[in-house]
Amino acid sequence: MRCPYCSYAKTNVIDSRDMGELEITRRRRECRKCKKRFTTYERVETIGLVVIKKDGRREKFSRDKLLAGVQRACEKRPISQERIEKLVEEIEKELRNMDTLEVESRKIGELVMRKLKKLDKVAYIRFASVYRSFADIESFENELRALRKKLKRR
Protein backbone atom coordinates (compact mmCIF):
# COMPACT_ATOMS: atom_id res chain seq x y z
CA MET A 1 0.00 0.00 0.00
CA ARG A 2 1.51 3.34 -1.06
CA CYS A 3 1.32 6.35 1.22
CA PRO A 4 -1.08 8.95 -0.26
CA TYR A 5 1.17 11.75 1.09
CA CYS A 6 4.69 10.76 0.02
CA SER A 7 4.06 7.65 -2.16
CA TYR A 8 6.42 5.51 -0.09
CA ALA A 9 5.61 1.83 -0.64
CA LYS A 10 5.84 0.55 2.93
CA THR A 11 3.25 1.17 5.63
CA ASN A 12 2.38 -0.34 8.99
CA VAL A 13 -1.15 -1.40 9.89
CA ILE A 14 -1.97 0.23 13.24
CA ASP A 15 -5.56 -0.89 13.63
CA SER A 16 -7.80 -3.24 11.68
CA ARG A 17 -11.52 -3.85 12.12
CA ASP A 18 -14.37 -5.42 10.23
CA MET A 19 -17.28 -3.17 9.33
CA GLY A 20 -20.86 -4.10 8.56
CA GLU A 21 -22.31 -6.97 6.63
CA LEU A 22 -20.62 -6.35 3.27
CA GLU A 23 -17.40 -7.79 4.66
CA ILE A 24 -15.42 -4.55 4.66
CA THR A 25 -12.18 -4.29 6.60
CA ARG A 26 -11.10 -0.83 7.72
CA ARG A 27 -7.38 -0.44 8.29
CA ARG A 28 -5.58 2.47 9.92
CA ARG A 29 -2.09 2.72 8.44
CA GLU A 30 1.05 4.71 9.12
CA CYS A 31 3.70 5.47 6.52
CA ARG A 32 7.13 4.19 7.55
CA LYS A 33 8.81 7.18 5.93
CA CYS A 34 6.75 10.33 6.64
CA LYS A 35 4.85 8.86 9.65
CA LYS A 36 1.50 10.27 8.46
CA ARG A 37 -1.59 8.16 9.05
CA PHE A 38 -4.40 7.26 6.67
CA THR A 39 -7.31 4.84 6.39
CA THR A 40 -7.90 2.17 3.76
CA TYR A 41 -10.95 -0.01 3.15
CA GLU A 42 -10.74 -3.56 1.88
CA ARG A 43 -13.86 -5.26 0.55
CA VAL A 44 -14.72 -8.54 -1.08
CA GLU A 45 -14.97 -8.27 -4.84
CA THR A 46 -18.51 -9.15 -5.82
CA ILE A 47 -20.32 -9.88 -9.05
CA GLY A 48 -20.86 -6.68 -10.95
CA LEU A 49 -24.20 -4.93 -10.90
CA VAL A 50 -25.35 -3.14 -14.02
CA VAL A 51 -27.33 0.10 -13.81
CA ILE A 52 -29.94 0.77 -16.48
CA LYS A 53 -30.04 4.54 -17.03
CA LYS A 54 -33.17 6.54 -17.91
CA ASP A 55 -32.16 6.63 -21.58
CA GLY A 56 -31.66 2.85 -21.70
CA ARG A 57 -27.86 2.88 -21.54
CA ARG A 58 -26.24 0.36 -19.24
CA GLU A 59 -23.23 1.05 -17.07
CA LYS A 60 -21.39 -0.75 -14.31
CA PHE A 61 -22.62 0.06 -10.79
CA SER A 62 -20.23 2.44 -9.05
CA ARG A 63 -20.24 2.50 -5.26
CA ASP A 64 -18.01 5.58 -5.44
CA LYS A 65 -20.57 7.42 -7.58
CA LEU A 66 -23.34 6.51 -5.13
CA LEU A 67 -21.18 7.62 -2.19
CA ALA A 68 -20.35 10.93 -3.89
CA GLY A 69 -24.05 11.69 -4.47
CA VAL A 70 -24.96 10.95 -0.86
CA GLN A 71 -21.99 12.99 0.39
CA ARG A 72 -23.08 15.99 -1.70
CA ALA A 73 -26.60 15.76 -0.27
CA CYS A 74 -25.21 15.55 3.28
CA GLU A 75 -22.66 18.34 2.84
CA LYS A 76 -22.56 20.76 5.80
CA ARG A 77 -25.07 18.64 7.71
CA PRO A 78 -24.40 17.09 11.15
CA ILE A 79 -23.87 13.62 9.66
CA SER A 80 -20.64 11.71 10.22
CA GLN A 81 -18.71 10.16 7.37
CA GLU A 82 -19.12 6.84 9.16
CA ARG A 83 -22.93 7.18 9.04
CA ILE A 84 -22.81 8.09 5.34
CA GLU A 85 -20.64 5.02 4.65
CA LYS A 86 -23.12 2.87 6.57
CA LEU A 87 -26.06 4.24 4.57
CA VAL A 88 -24.27 3.54 1.27
CA GLU A 89 -23.39 0.06 2.53
CA GLU A 90 -27.07 -0.60 3.34
CA ILE A 91 -28.12 0.55 -0.14
CA GLU A 92 -25.48 -1.56 -1.85
CA LYS A 93 -26.48 -4.59 0.21
CA GLU A 94 -30.13 -4.17 -0.77
CA LEU A 95 -29.17 -3.86 -4.44
CA ARG A 96 -26.98 -6.97 -4.32
CA ASN A 97 -29.73 -8.95 -2.57
CA MET A 98 -32.16 -8.33 -5.44
CA ASP A 99 -33.07 -11.18 -7.76
CA THR A 100 -31.33 -9.53 -10.71
CA LEU A 101 -27.89 -8.14 -11.55
CA GLU A 102 -29.47 -5.30 -13.54
CA VAL A 103 -31.17 -2.49 -11.68
CA GLU A 104 -32.82 0.68 -12.98
CA SER A 105 -31.24 3.96 -11.87
CA ARG A 106 -34.75 5.03 -10.82
CA LYS A 107 -34.83 2.21 -8.27
CA ILE A 108 -31.46 3.26 -6.84
CA GLY A 109 -32.61 6.87 -6.60
CA GLU A 110 -35.81 5.91 -4.79
CA LEU A 111 -33.84 3.73 -2.38
CA VAL A 112 -31.41 6.58 -1.63
CA MET A 113 -34.28 9.01 -1.05
CA ARG A 114 -36.05 6.60 1.31
CA LYS A 115 -32.88 6.17 3.39
CA LEU A 116 -32.02 9.88 3.37
CA LYS A 117 -35.55 10.82 4.43
CA LYS A 118 -35.04 8.79 7.62
CA LEU A 119 -31.52 10.14 8.17
CA ASP A 120 -31.86 13.88 7.49
CA LYS A 121 -34.71 15.83 5.90
CA VAL A 122 -32.45 18.54 4.44
CA ALA A 123 -30.17 15.96 2.81
CA TYR A 124 -33.29 14.24 1.47
CA ILE A 125 -34.60 17.46 -0.11
CA ARG A 126 -31.19 18.22 -1.61
CA PHE A 127 -30.95 14.76 -3.16
CA ALA A 128 -34.57 14.83 -4.34
CA SER A 129 -34.12 18.23 -6.00
CA VAL A 130 -31.30 16.87 -8.16
CA TYR A 131 -32.73 13.37 -8.63
CA ARG A 132 -36.21 14.53 -9.58
CA SER A 133 -34.87 17.49 -11.58
CA PHE A 134 -37.30 19.99 -10.12
CA ALA A 135 -38.14 22.19 -13.08
CA ASP A 136 -39.43 25.11 -11.05
CA ILE A 137 -40.06 26.39 -7.55
CA GLU A 138 -43.60 24.97 -7.51
CA SER A 139 -42.42 21.37 -7.88
CA PHE A 140 -39.89 21.98 -5.09
CA GLU A 141 -42.63 23.45 -2.86
CA ASN A 142 -44.89 20.47 -3.59
CA GLU A 143 -42.19 18.11 -2.37
CA LEU A 144 -41.72 20.18 0.80
CA ARG A 145 -45.49 20.16 1.44
CA ALA A 146 -45.62 16.38 1.05
CA LEU A 147 -42.72 16.03 3.48
CA ARG A 148 -44.43 18.31 6.03
CA LYS A 149 -47.66 16.27 5.81
CA LYS A 150 -45.75 13.06 6.53
CA LEU A 151 -44.01 14.69 9.48
CA LYS A 152 -47.31 15.93 10.97
CA ARG A 153 -48.83 12.43 10.78
CA ARG A 154 -46.15 11.07 13.10
Dmax (CA) of the chain? 58
pLDDT tens column, 55-108: 999 999 999 999 999 999 999 999 999 999 999 999 999 998 898 999 999 999
pLDDT at 146: 81
pLDDT at 40: 93
Average pLDDT over residues 128-148: 78
- Is 70 exceeded by the pLDDT of residue 135? no
Query: pTM (2 decimals)?
Result: 0.65
* Pairing between β-strand 11-19 and β-strand 58-60 as defined by DSSP bridges: unpaired
pLDDT at 18: 86
pLDDT at 22: 58
pLDDT at 132: 75
Domain ranges in the chain are 1-45, 48-153
Angle at 92 between CA 50 and CA 54, to 5 degrees: 40
- Is 80 exceeded by the pLDDT of residue 118? yes
pLDDT at 28: 96
pLDDT at 154: 67
pLDDT tens column, 29-65: 999 999 999 999 887 766 789 999 989 999 999 999 9
User: Could you tell me the CA-to-CA distances from 61 to 8, 29, 58 in Å, in that order?
Assistant: 31, 28, 9
